[in-house]
Structure 1
Amino acid sequence: MTFKWAGRCPECGAWGSVEEAPALSPLQTSALQRSALPESRIASTTGGLLPSSPARSINEVEGSHAAVRSTGIAELDRVLGGGVVPGAMILLAGEPGVGKSTLLLEVVRRWAEHDTALYITGEESAGQVRLRADRTNALHERVMIAAESELATILGHVEQVRPSLLIVDSVQTMRAADVEGTTGGVTQVRAVTNALTNLAKTSGLAVLLVGHVTKDGSVAGPRSLEHIVDVVLHFEGDKNSTLRMVRGIKNRFGPTDEVGCFELCESGIKEITDPSGLFLHHHSHTVSGTAITVAMDGKRPMLGEVQALVAGNGIPSPRRAVSGLDSSRVAMILAVLERRCGLSLTGSEVYVATVGGMRVTEPSADLAIAVAVASGARDLVLPERTIVIGEVGLAGEVRRVPGAGRRVQEAARLGFTRAIVPADSDAMPHNVAVTHVRNVGEALSALAPEAKQK
């Protein structure tokens, strides 16, 4: 069958033998399919096909085969919802050079301590992966590796090795020979993913795919790729920082608001169980223009330092530079400080940034930004062991943020003794001196008596 005119039959090679025929309707196509099946498979009342196995109650479905299995990396298990489910399709996406392959080598090494893992690489040779494994101490006799890009060959390796975990690095380098399209194209990526998904669901093999991302940070390839897989993880981090985070975007087996923290070093990648300590490692209590806040990344509260520098006076075109924060919110807060608090920033350059590669996008850091800028403009050092939490509105009011009590409790665990929070916040820990404020002016007034001139 061909969908356009052809002078020669592609099957028998005869000339002028191809005849035009009308396309069959869906009902006619279904009838032809039913005619090729035995009568026992055809339902007489509706004309549909009888299923090979009847539907049953959900209480009768065996669930033991879907029990999660730990990867051996607690931070990754946190994002996955406890571990890897047999038969799950997991997509790990990230920018080039962020450390995806290094993380996966650590995963297969931990996995190989209990079972066999197969690592398929299409971007590097087996020797190159071995060199990285030597450097990161990821060698194990049950870690099997093959440099392949043909889907049929990969399935053959799975048949021979019989692993319980398959790593494919990356899905954009794999190709199905019987499917048209270039390697990494929409058609090829969809075909390879569908084939590996069918393998995972029928055999119970857990498959972890590595995916590329586009310039805007979304997963490269067809949008259906994210719908096909069970779990989508984003591996992100600044190339100028050692901090790396695995963020859950989609998870059919667990929560989607968890984040795992890692540190990339020369010997590989290691977990960070207390990221707040990393962000506050270089904090100085004797410098003006700094404020400590607590941001919620998923369900995890993390302390971060906001720094502000106000320089110059009477500059015709003053510069505003922001790093690690939402630049539009910082501009709004600067306007609120000038209009509602009488802080003159006209003609002064303002630089606002976070420390340690931390990125804060939620509004709970608004009040900390305002306090840091005011501290930098007036050259006042804020009191030690104080955190500032709150969202700032255009009228200068301080609004409540979700989980304020949990944020303050995390700060108390790290030795902070005072907190500036919105007036209508939840119950607070008893071991922290809490000051409730209704607007930015009250927050600055509450800190001013204890602030010290630099």
Structure 2
Amino acid sequence: MAKNKSVFICQECGYESTGWLGKCPACSQWSTFVEQVQQGRHSPSPTPSATAKPVSINDIKLDNEERYSTGINEMDRVLGGGIIKGSLILVGGDPGIGKSTLILQICNSIRMSFKILYVSGEESIKQIKLRADRLGVRNSNLLMVSETNFKAIERIIDEEKPGVVIIDSIQTVFNDELTSAPGSVSQVREVTGALVRIGKSCGISIIIVGHVTKEGAIAGPRVLEHMVDTVLYFEGERHLSYRVLRAVKNRFGSTNEIGIFEMHDTGLVEVENPSRVMLTGRTENVPGSVVVSSVEGTRPMLIEIQALVCATGFGMPRRMATGVDYNRITLLMAVLEKRVGMQLSNCDAYVNVVGGLKLDEPACDLGIITAIASSFKNLPVTEGTVLIGEVGLTGEVRPVGQIDKRIMEAARIGFQNCIIPEGNLKMVKQMKGLDSINIKTVENVQQALDVLL
């Protein structure tokens, strides 16, 4: 009989070592190694499958994807039209952001005749019932169970034969055949692998909830995200009412789509017109406030960006950014200093995206740089203006994609002016229905600031 041996496994990437290491050589993370005891056993060589034969790609027959709606339009948008039968979906988010609330509302809105099994490893069924009553969940096909042993969960799935299984959360489920603790690399990998096999073989759609680390990534090994079909992140600030559901991986749809919700006492409510909601309460003619047009997937949105520039009281000026990349702010301020001549080296700068959203596309560069210049000069931007454009290091305003959707959204909301790059003029001339909005083109940052301020 083989002896038991101890190995040290990185809890971030799954790298194994015979001894403890302070820094993982694979993922470069510190203090992530945990000792685990592996039981030695002589496992027989696997027998090859008699039915596994290579098939020509031209002979493979495709069946139509069997999708069914979740009953929530914003969720269907992110998933690419609904839940695929037999798919595995991972939902992650900060504690208290509303993951369990969203899952319960999906359970209530699915209008299918099959059973839905909700497995909770963190709460009792009475606690879930209290939340369900508050949210108005009345689906008679929804079955609740509080269990963390995977063998018991597997038995329940085999007996009830549900169409959808929800695991909340994957870090609490364990397989008693393994000696490691729940949430470890080996436990998460084995349990998720077994769920994949169950979902694919039985045609069961499985939704698993995952914890996130303080950096915002899914806790546990990265292999978890590679094994599932779809990875969704539920984002937002806990003190703000808006939540954003974002797909970072989707084998059956686009990864650019987002869904926007608003948290109420009775649960999450879909935001069908995010542009109008994000601009509600905006004050006109205030220095440092601009409106940009951003596109997430197929959805254009108008978002307010605010900037505050003031003289620093310390030797080192302070820079802060919320909702946009800090390094991008530093780069754009350097462009203002070099190409426009603004002396920002002795000023503190604060940039904020209103509503708790995160912008990462370069089409918002012109809006950010204009907001900073507006606050620095204490001059408001022309009322009713939307800014679109990417800014280069030489101060040029470069063209952006999907300019037609951006301009049409601005015209629909009621804006009178739109500043766009000169390179997009050819496409704009081919557009129709722009009589209500005045479009101006600019070639560089200096020209844009002369028009706006």
Task: Using structure 1 for the length normalisation, give the TM-score.
Answer: 0.84
Deviations 1:204-237 (A, max 9, x none): 1111111112222222222221222111111111
| Cα drift, residue 311 of structure 1 | 2.5
Instruction: Check the 8 A contact 1:112/1:140 in 2, yes or no.
Output: no
| Cα drift, residue 401 of structure 1 | 1.7
1:227 & 1:311 partners in 2: Cα distance?
46
> Counterpart of 1:440?
445
Change (3 A) 1:2 1:439: same
1:266 maps to a residue whose letter is D
Gaps of at least 5 residues in structure 2 are 6-41
Instruction: Check the 8 A contact 1:112/1:142 in 2, yes or no.
Output: no
> Counterpart of 1:123?
122
Deviations 1:160-216 (A, max 9, x none): 322211111011111112223111111111111111111111111111111112222
1:421 & 1:249 partners in 2: Cα distance?
29
> Counterpart of 1:424?
423
| Cα drift, residue 284 of structure 1 | 1.4
2:266 & 2:348 partners in 1: Cα distance?
41
| Cα drift, residue 49 of structure 1 | 5.6
Q: Establish whether residue 172 from structure 1 lines up as the match of residue 188 from structure 2.
A: no
Residues 55-64 or 148-157, more deviating: 55-64
Change (3 A) 1:181 1:112: farther
| Cα drift, residue 395 of structure 1 | 1.5
Gaps of at least 5 residues in structure 1 are 6-22, 34-47, 449-454
Bigger radius of gyration: 1
Residues 383-392 or 310-319, more deviating: 310-319
Instruction: Check the 8 A contact 2:312/2:318 in 1, yes or no.
Output: no
> Counterpart of 2:141?
142
Instruction: Check the 8 A contact 2:90/2:210 in 1, yes or no.
Output: yes
1:351 & 1:111 partners in 2: Cα distance?
44
2:166 & 2:224 partners in 1: Cα distance?
17
Deviations 1:276-314 (A, max 9, x none): 122211211121211110122233221111112223478
Instruction: Check the 8 A contact 2:170/2:188 in 1, yes or no.
Output: yes
SS in 2 for 1:51: coil
Change (3 A) 1:4 1:263: closer
SS in 2 for 1:380: coil
Change (3 A) 1:62 1:318: closer
2:378 & 2:114 partners in 1: Cα distance?
60
Aligned pairs (5 A) from 1:60-71: 61=61, 63-64=63-64, 66-71=65-70
Over the residues paired in the alignment, what is the CA RMSD in angstroms?
Answer: 2.4
Change (3 A) 1:131 1:422: same
Instruction: Check the 8 A contact 1:172/1:212 in 2, yes or no.
Output: yes
Aligned pairs (5 A) from 1:267-346: 267-312=266-311, 316-346=315-345
Instruction: Check the 8 A contact 1:174/1:192 in 2, yes or no.
Output: yes
1:139 maps to a residue whose letter is R
1:216 maps to a residue whose letter is E
1:4 & 1:353 partners in 2: Cα distance?
55
| Cα drift, residue 345 of structure 1 | 2.9
Q: Establish whether residue 250 from structure 1 lines up as the match of residue 255 from structure 2.
A: no
Deviations 1:9-65 (A, max 9, x none): xxxxxxxxxxxxxx99xxx957xx4xxxxxxxxxxxxxx76427895876674625x
Instruction: Check the 8 A contact 2:335/2:394 in 1, yes or no.
Output: yes
Q: Establish whether residue 403 from structure 1 lines up as the match of residue 402 from structure 2.
A: yes
Instruction: Check the 8 A contact 2:244/2:357 in 1, yes or no.
Output: no
Deviations 1:363-396 (A, max 9, x none): 2111111211222222222222211111112221
Residues 266-275 or 165-174, more deviating: 266-275
1:81 & 1:163 partners in 2: Cα distance?
23
Instruction: Check the 8 A contact 1:324/1:354 in 2, yes or no.
Output: yes
> Counterpart of 1:237?
236
SS in 1 for 2:232: strand
1:412 & 1:114 partners in 2: Cα distance?
44
1:346 & 1:230 partners in 2: Cα distance?
47
Residues 68-77 or 392-401, more deviating: 392-401
1:150 & 1:94 partners in 2: Cα distance?
24
Q: Establish whether residue 51 from structure 1 lines up as the match of residue 51 from structure 2.
A: yes
1:187 & 1:361 partners in 2: Cα distance?
35
1:181 maps to a residue whose letter is S
Instruction: Check the 8 A contact 1:278/1:356 in 2, yes or no.
Output: no
2:49 & 2:312 partners in 1: Cα distance?
81
1:443 maps to a residue whose letter is A
> Counterpart of 1:185?
184
| Cα drift, residue 421 of structure 1 | 1.0
1:398 & 1:53 partners in 2: Cα distance?
56
1:308 & 1:235 partners in 2: Cα distance?
26
Instruction: Check the 8 A contact 2:235/2:244 in 1, yes or no.
Output: yes
1:328 & 1:52 partners in 2: Cα distance?
51
Change (3 A) 1:361 1:49: closer
1:134 & 1:363 partners in 2: Cα distance?
44
> Counterpart of 1:365?
364
Instruction: Give the share of equivalent positions with the same residue, in percent.
Output: 40
1:365 & 1:149 partners in 2: Cα distance?
46
1:62 & 1:188 partners in 2: Cα distance?
34
